[in-house]
Structure formats: structure tokens, C-alpha cells
């Protein structure tokens, strides 16, 4: 085993140590007054209670799926390591979300208290707490990868290049566990948080005319709980599977692409994505330490403060990549380094485009707020239009990135031969690794947002000095933009990783054919062993082309899946929100004295409604994402599955960008009005933008971010079930 590999477990341990250090630093901060502590405790208990309920449901699903994989392994149509890999992926994904959420629930009151001292103090506590999530995700991800690499190297008894192909494709399957857990966390958490948020906003802010996070609002505690279970725990699980998926898919492609060059070349290609990710950990930590701001800073200054950290990490990893590739002495190290740079650049461009369309420092969101002067309808129309327009830059960026990463990896070879195709696809995979290499700090900027949001809620409910709420509002508005940027990174990486997983699916098909002892006819018409087949051979054998109606049917089903999934999750939020609105209205009507502060609302009842609604509604969309790829494989075969994955990738990527950016813009348009523009708080314009925000809530926090998981989960399920598909077809 190459000694450079040991950088991976070392980086994992370093990330987890620094996560612990930042956690301890945050815990040393004071939670503030007795009231602040009490509110934080309510939120903490509600979040933990929800997570326990969610894990009970998820554990049942995981037991059923693990039993299915065990049965398939017993029947000889599944790798016997898969059930164990699947379970560990799910466990670490859930653990990452749990740690992040626990940190956030302790950090919110401490951020509000620190904001009493200064804006910079509040930013530092919130951001360092968000960094706990970022470093936990990358630390656990690399640890899981390192452990499985060591185990499989020790126990897999296969000779030659096929050993590394087997190991990497087996490791890829634990990504299904991570994706399954992530989808439940995102969907369930998203339904919870948006049901509470919509109920709190529509009845409290619009109908009752009370401020956001006012303690008189019965749904306000549930709303703050939702920020943690959806935007922290759900997001942590989501980006864990994105991070691991990109590394594992690229490792599998490397093993396949360099198989003909021998074990040594394979090993270098497999190590490259792991070591890039390991170095990215150290550079993320460095970037975290340079984030600071000054008192009185506005949105522009705060964005620059966070930008200093993320940009520094990105520039340094870009430089380090050339050194890594050179030290590995990988063939065409210069070209593969450029592919990584392409991925990094694409991530930055998508992030900047997202910031432009969602931050109220720029004209699109300001124009959206202005539309509120003519009512909620124009706000909604303008927000939908803004989201649609915002898809152009990310889509073009990803398209260019795919082409450049492919061409750089094979030295601009346009022959599309089997060899150039394999190395080109590896280049696309390593571009995805580059995009997510600095996830430690990128995720910190994302997780920071819900902490700042909860801090504002705590400041409002604790009736702190209005200046404190003003500071937390600035931090919260920044958090909305950084959250949207983080979602942009996740969606962009999903597109690149999705292509890599598509290629990995073909490799898994080849392994299935080899395992079953099948021979195939290659593109030249010769009969060969499946183990010797190339990607074009497999594509030709299953007639994967645009004129095959089976492929086209798969494409249509895949495109439909994105809309079906969004429809189910949007309706789920709507039903849960209806229950919340009814309950808040009931309490205002029946519990006399709430609005005059003579009575205390029943917060627990609202928390219970969100919890039950989320548990009930999350099962169907999540299970459909698992069941449909299995059925398509059984009915339509590999050609249909390829169509499904292509259709899902294309529609899912564009729809996710649209929904995330629309939702982020609606939210910040409301914030822009609340800062005193177009009539300020409680004006008709404000009420119109609040309505827009409630429409945007499930867009940006439930359906939109869940789509990137859907894209990868369908690929992962297809890969895991590939051998069964081959056996039937």
C-alpha cells in the first residue's frame, strides 16, 4: 500500500480533532440570561426528540434493505460485502448530521449573547460552530473511506488489476447507505422546518402582525427546531454523501481507466482523489481561521469576510493539486491537475452566480422586493422568473466544466476511443472531487446560516436590546445567501458526480457479467469475455443509443422522477403547514391573553404537529427514489436504467438550481423590505414578500436540496442492484 495513503486517516483525525476544539471553544461561551438558556433548551429538546423519531423510522428501512442485500448475496447476485458497507455509510451519514445539529442547538444562544458584545464576536461563534459541522462531515467521510480501504485490501483475495476494481466498486456501495440516510434526513427535516415556518409566518406575521420569532407565536419554537433538523442535520447528511460519493466514484473510475496499465498505475489513480480531499481538510482549517469582520459591517463586507476564507482555501488547493499529482507520478499529471482546477473554478462560478441571484445586495433580489409593492401575486411571478433565469449560468458552467475536465484528462483527444473515454470520465470525476475538496470551510459557511437564524430568534424571544437583533438579522441575511451558495455547490457537484456514477454503473454491469461468466459481442462483432470489455463494448451490447425506445422510455421516466419527487415533497409541506396554520389560529382564538402576553402559548403542541407530519410524509417520496430504479432495472434492463439516470440527472440538476435560487431570493427579498425599504416591516409590501417567502420555503429547504440526493441515490441503487439486473437480462 502506498505510504501516501496514510495522509487520508491522518487528515480524518485532524479534522475531527479541530471539530472538537471548535466545539469546546463554543461551549465555553456564555448562553446569556436565564430566558435565553430556557429558550435554547426548548429548541434543543424539540430537535433531539424529532431526530430520535426519525432514526426509528430510518432504522427499520435500513434493516429491510440490508436483509434484501444479504438475501441477494446468498443467491449469488450480490457482493457479500455490500450489506455491511451499506450500513456503515448510513451510520456515518446520520452521525454527521447528529453532531452538527447538537452543535447548532448549543451555539444559537451563545451567538446571540456574543452579538451583544459585537458583530464580529457573533460571527466568530456562529461560523466556528458551523465549522464543527464542516469538519465533522469531511473527517467522518475520510475515516469511513480509509477504514474500508484497509479492510478490503486485507481480506479481498483476488489477483492483479481486478482486485482494485472489485475493492473500489464495493466501496462505492456504502454511498447508497449515505444517500438513503441523507434523503430521509433532508425530506423529513425539510417538511418539519417548512411546516413550522409557514405556520409561523402566515398567521403570526401576516394575520396577527407580530414580529418574526415573537414569543407570542405558538409556532416559533417549532420553527427554530426546524432550522436545526432540516438545515443542519439534513444538510450535514446531504453533503456527507455528496463528498463521499464524488471520491468513491472517482476511485472506481480510476481503477477501471488505468486497469490496462497495471496495478501501480491503478493505485496512483485511486489515491489521487483521496489525497486531494485529505490536503483540502488542512487548507479548509486554515481558511476558517482567517474569517473575521469589523463592527458595523454590512452585507458586502460580511460576504467578503467569508469569501476570504473560502477563496484562500480554494487557491491553495489548486496549487497543491499540481504537487499531489506530480508526487504520485500519475500519467498525464498535468492534465488531471487542470481537471481539478476546472472543478474548483466551476464551484466558485456557481457560488458567485447563486450569490448574485439570491443576495439582496444585488439587483435581482432588490427588483423582487420591489415587485411586492403590487401584491403577493407579482412577487411570486417575479420569483419564479428569477429562478428560471438563474439556471443559465450554472448549467452553462457545468457543461463547460464537463467538456474541459474531459479534454484536459485525455490531452484533448477527440477520438472517443475506449482508452480516451475512460481517462476523460476519470477527469470529470476528479473535477467533482476538486469542487468539494474544500468542503470543510464551504459547509461551515452553510451551517453557519441556521445558527445565525436561531440566534436572531433567541434574541427576539429574550427581548434583548434591538441592536442585538439588528446584528443577528445581518448575520441571518448573510446566512440565507451562504446557504444558497452551499446548495449551489451541492447541486453542481451532484451533476459532475452523477456522470461519474453513470460510468461506474457501466463498470458494475461489467463486473456482473464477469461474475455470471457471460460473454459479449464487442463493437467489432467479436465474442469476448466480459472482463475484457470496454465502455463502448458494454454500450453496444445493450444497445444504449438514442434510437433505442427502451433508452428513451428510461429518459422520460428519469425526467418525470424529479417532478414527481418535488410534487410529493411540496404537497407534504402543504399538508403539514395547513395543520400548523390551523393550530396557531386555534391557540390565538382559544387561549385568551396570548397576544397581550398574559398567557403562554402551547409550544409543545406545535412541535408535535411538525414531528408527526414530517414522520408521516417523508416515507413515500424517499421510498419511491429507491423502488423506481430497481423496477426500471428489472423491467427495462441496463439500457432503461442508463436512460433513467440520464433523464434524472438532466431534469434534476436544472430543477434544483431553479428551486433553490427562487427560494433564496424570496427569503432575502423579505429581509430587504424588513431593513426599511419599500415601506419596511408591517407594510403591504412586507406582507407580500412574506407570502413569497412562504412559497419559497419548501422550494429552497425541502424539494430543491433533496433533488441532488435523488440524482445520486438513483445512481447508487442502480449500481448496487446491477448484478441482479444483469442476471435477469
Task: Tally Cβ neighbours within 10 Å of residue 16.
Answer: 19
Average pLDDT value for residue range 429-444: 85
Q: Are 136 and 99 in contact (CB under 8 A)?
A: yes
Judge whether residue 678 has pLDDT over 60: yes
User: Which position has the higher pLDDT, 78 or 28?
Assistant: 28
Residue 422: its H or E element? helix 418-436
Task: Round to whole Å and give the CA distance between 99 and 137.
Answer: 9
Quick one: pLDDT at residue 14?
95
Q: Which three cell numbers stand for residue 419?
A: 482508452
Quick one: pLDDT at residue 480?
65
Distances (CA, A) of 6 to 13, 171, 274, 433: 11, 18, 10, 19
Burial class (CB in 10 A: 0-12, 13-18, 19+), 579: middle
Q: Which three cell numbers stand for residue 523?
A: 463493437
User: Which position has the higher pLDDT, 567 or 359?
Assistant: 567
Distances (CA, A) of 524 to 15, 116, 147, 513, 520: 51, 74, 42, 19, 11
Residue 515's pLDDT band (boundaries 50, 70, 90)? confident
Average pLDDT, the chain: 86
Judge whether residue 636 has pLDDT over 90: yes
User: Which position has the higher pLDDT, 225 or 8?
Assistant: 8
DSSP letters spanning 103-153 = HHHHHHHHHHHHHTT-HHHHHHHHHHHHHHHHHHHHHHHHHHHHHHHHHHH
Q: Are 641 and 554 in contact (CB under 8 A)?
A: yes
Distances (CA, A) of 249 to 427, 565, 657: 11, 24, 23
User: Which position has the higher pLDDT, 592 or 647?
Assistant: 647
Positions of E strands within 464-538:
519-521, 527-529
| 3-state DSSP percent of the chain in helix, strand and coil, to 5 | 85, 0, 15
Q: Are 615 and 575 in contact (CB under 8 A)?
A: no
Judge whether residue 18 has pLDDT over 60: yes
Burial class (CB in 10 A: 0-12, 13-18, 19+), 584: buried
Task: Round to whole Å and give the CA distance between 191 and 503.
Answer: 33
Residue 724: its H or E element? helix 722-728
Q: Which three cell numbers stand for residue 78?
A: 450480490
Q: Are strands 527-529 and 519-521 parallel, antiparallel or unpaired?
A: antiparallel
The residue with cell 447508487 is 716
User: Which position has the higher pLDDT, 409 or 515?
Assistant: 409
For 670-673, the CB contacts below 8 A with 24+ separation are 670/369, 671/360, 671/473, 671/476, 671/477, 671/480, 672/360, 672/365, 672/366, 672/369, 673/369, 673/372
Quick one: pLDDT at residue 9?
93
Task: Tally Cβ neighbours within 10 Å of residue 155.
Answer: 9
Judge whether residue 135 has pLDDT over 80: yes
Quick one: pLDDT at residue 639?
94
Residue 602's pLDDT band (boundaries 50, 70, 90)? confident
**Any idea which of 21-30, 57-66, 428-437, 470-479 has the lowest mean pLDDT?**
470-479
Report the predicted TM-score, pTM, of the whole model to 2 decimal places. Answer: 0.88
Judge whether residue 386 has pLDDT over 90: yes
Query: pLDDT digits over 206-249, tens only?
Result: 777 787 677 888 888 888 787 788 778 777 888 888 888 889 98
DSSP letter assigned to residue 206 = I
Query: pLDDT digits over 532-585, tens only?
Result: 788 888 888 888 988 899 999 999 999 999 999 999 988 988 888 888 888 888
Quick one: pLDDT at residue 366?
93
Q: Report the percent of the chain where pLDDT is more than 90.
A: 25
Q: Report the percent of the chain where pLDDT is more than 70.
A: 97
Residue 298's pLDDT band (boundaries 50, 70, 90)? low
Residue 352's pLDDT band (boundaries 50, 70, 90)? confident
Give the alpha-carbon dihedral of 646, 652, 655, 658, to 10 degrees. Answer: -110
Task: Round to whole Å and give the CA distance between 556 and 559.
Answer: 5
Q: Are 436 and 491 in contact (CB under 8 A)?
A: no
Average pLDDT value for residue range 176-188: 86
Average pLDDT value for residue range 386-412: 92
User: Which position has the higher pLDDT, 403 or 3?
Assistant: 403
Distances (CA, A) of 326 to 1, 330, 433: 18, 7, 17
**Any idea which of 15-19, 176-180, 223-227, 386-390 has the lowest mean pLDDT?**
223-227
Residue 41's pLDDT band (boundaries 50, 70, 90)? confident
Quick one: pLDDT at residue 294?
65
Task: Round to whole Å and give the CA distance between 203 and 369.
Answer: 21
Q: Are 275 and 4 in contact (CB under 8 A)?
A: yes
Quick one: pLDDT at residue 385?
95
The residue with cell 473535477 is 431
Task: Round to whole Å and give the CA distance between 29 and 103.
Answer: 13
Judge whether residue 296 has pLDDT over 70: no
Burial class (CB in 10 A: 0-12, 13-18, 19+), 154: exposed
Task: Round to whole Å and give the CA distance between 704 and 429.
Answer: 23
Amino acid at each position: 500500500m502506498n505510504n501516501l495513503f496514510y495522509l487520508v486517516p491522518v487528515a480524518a483525525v485532524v479534522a475531527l480533532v479541530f471539530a472538537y476544539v471548535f466545539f469546546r471553544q463554543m461551549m465555553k461561551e456564555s448562553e446569556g440570561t436565564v430566558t435565553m438558556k430556557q429558550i435554547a433548551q426548548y429548541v434543543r429538546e424539540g430537535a433531539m426528540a424529532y431526530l430520535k423519531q426519525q432514526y426509528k423510522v430510518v432504522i427499520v428501512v435500513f434493516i429491510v434493505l440490508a436483509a434484501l442485500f444479504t438475501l441477494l448475496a446468498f443467491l449469488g447476485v450480490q457482493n457479500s460485502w455490500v450489506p455491511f458497507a451499506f450500513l456503515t455509510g448510513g451510520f456515518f451519514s446520520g452521525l454527521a448530521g447528529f453532531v452538527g445539529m447538537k452543535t447548532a442547538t448549543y451555539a444559537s444562544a451563545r451567538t446571540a449573547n456574543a452579538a451583544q458584545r459585537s458583530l464580529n464576536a457573533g460571527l466568530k461563534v456562529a461560523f466556528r460552530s458551523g465549522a464543527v459541522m464542516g469538519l465533522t462531515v469531511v473527517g467522518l467521510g475520510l475515516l469511513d473511506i480509509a477504514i474500508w480501504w484497509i479492510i478490503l485490501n486485507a481480506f479481498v483475495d483476488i489477483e492483479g488489476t481486478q482486485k482494485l476494481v472489485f475493492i473500489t466498486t464495493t466501496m462505492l456501495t456504502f454511498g447508497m447507505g449515505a444517500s438513503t440516510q441523507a434523503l430521509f434526513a433532508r425530506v423529513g427535516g425539510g417538511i418539519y422546518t417548512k411546516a413550522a415556518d409557514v405556520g409561523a409566518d402566515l398567521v403570526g406575521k401576516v394575520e396577527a402582525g407580530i414580529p418574526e420569532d415573537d414569543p407570542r407565536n405558538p409556532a416559533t419554537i417549532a420553527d427554530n427546531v426546524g432550522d436545526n433538523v432540516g438545515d443542519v442535520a439534513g444538510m450535514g447528511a446531504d453533503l456527507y454523501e455528496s463528498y463521499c460519493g464524488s471520491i468513491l466514484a472517482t476511485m472506481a473510475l480510476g481503477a477501471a481507466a488505468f486497469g490496462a496499465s497495471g496495478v501501480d498505475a491503478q493505485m496512483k489513480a485511486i489515491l489521487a482523489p483521496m489525497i486531494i480531499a485529505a490536503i483540502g481538510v488542512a487548507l479548509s482549517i486554515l481558511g476558517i481561521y482567517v474569517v473575521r469582520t469589523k463592527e458595523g459591517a454590512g452585507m458586502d463586507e460580511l460576504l467578503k469576510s467569508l469569501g476570504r476564507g473560502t477563496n484562500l482555501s480554494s487557491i491553495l488547493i489548486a496549487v497543491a493539486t499540481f504537487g499531489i499529482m506530480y508526487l504520485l507520478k500519475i500519467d498525464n499529471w498535468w492534465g488531471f491537475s487542470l481537471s481539478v482546477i476546472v472543478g474548483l473554478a466551476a464551484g466558485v462560478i456557481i457560488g458567485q452566480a447563486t450569490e448574485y441571484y439570491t443576495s439582496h445586495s444585488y439587483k435581482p433580489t432588490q427588483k423582487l422586493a420591489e415587485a411586492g409593492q403590487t401584491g403577493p401575486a407579482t412577487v411570486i411571478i417575479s420569483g419564479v422568473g428569477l429562478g428560471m433565469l438563474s439556471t443559465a449560468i450554472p448549467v452553462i458552467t457545468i457543461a463547460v466544466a464537463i467538456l474541459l475536465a474531459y479534454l484536459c484528462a485525455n490531452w484533448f483527444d477527440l477520438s472517443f476511443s475506449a482508452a480516451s473515454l475512460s481517462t476523460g470520465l476519470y477527469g470529470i470525476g476528479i473535477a467533482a472531487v476538486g469542487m468539494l475538496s474544500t468542503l470543510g470551510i464551504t459547509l461551515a459557511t452553510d451551517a453557519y446560516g441556521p445558527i445565525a437564524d436561531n440566534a436572531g430568534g433567541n434574541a427576539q424571544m429574550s427581548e434583548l436590546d434591538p441592536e442585538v437583533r439588528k446584528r443577528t438579522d445581518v448575520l441571518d441575511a448573510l446566512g440565507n445567501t451562504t446557504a444558497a451558495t452551499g446548495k449551489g455547490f451541492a447541486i453542481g457537484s451532484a451533476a459532475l458526480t452523477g456522470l461519474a456514477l453513470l460510468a461506474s454503473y457501466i463498470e458494475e454491469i461489467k463486473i456482473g457479467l464477469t461474475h455470471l461468466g457471460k460473454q459479449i459481442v464487442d463493437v467489432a462483432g467479436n465474442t469476448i469475455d466480459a472482463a475484457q470489455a470496454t465502455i463502448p463494448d458494454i454500450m453496444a451490447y445493450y444497445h444504449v443509443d438514442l434510437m433505442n425506445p427502451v433508452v428513451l422510455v428510461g429518459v422520460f421516466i428519469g425526467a418525470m422522477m424529479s417532478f414527481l419527487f418535488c410534487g410529493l415533497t411540496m404537497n407534504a409541506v402543504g399538508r403539514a403547514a395547513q395543520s400548523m396554520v390551523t393550530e396557531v389560529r386555534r391557540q390565538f382564538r382559544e387561549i385568551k391573553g396570548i397576544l397581550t402576553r398574559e398567557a403562554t402559548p402551547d409550544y409543545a403542541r406545535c412541535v408535535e404537529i411538525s414531528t408527526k407530519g414530517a414522520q408521516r410524509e417523508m416515507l413515500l417520496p424517499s421510498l419511491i427514489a429507491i423502488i423506481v430504479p430497481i423496477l426500471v432495472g428489472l423491467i427495462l434492463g441496463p439500457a432503461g436504467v442508463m436512460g433513467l439516470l440520464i433523464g434524472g440527472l438532466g431534469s434534476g440538476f436544472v430543477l434544483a438550481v431553479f428551486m433553490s435560487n427562487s427560494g433564496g431570493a424570496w427569503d432575502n427579498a423579505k429581509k430587504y423590505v424588513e431593513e426599511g425599504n419599500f415601506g419596511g416591516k408591517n407594510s403591504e409590501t412586507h406582507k407580500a414578500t412574506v407570502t413569497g417567502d412562504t412559497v419559497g420555503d419548501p422550494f429552497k429547504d425541502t424539494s430543491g436540496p433533496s433533488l441532488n440526493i435523488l440524482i445520486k441515490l438513483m445512481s447508487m441503487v442502480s449500481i448496487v442492484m446491477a448484478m441482479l439486473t444483469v442476471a435477469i437480462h
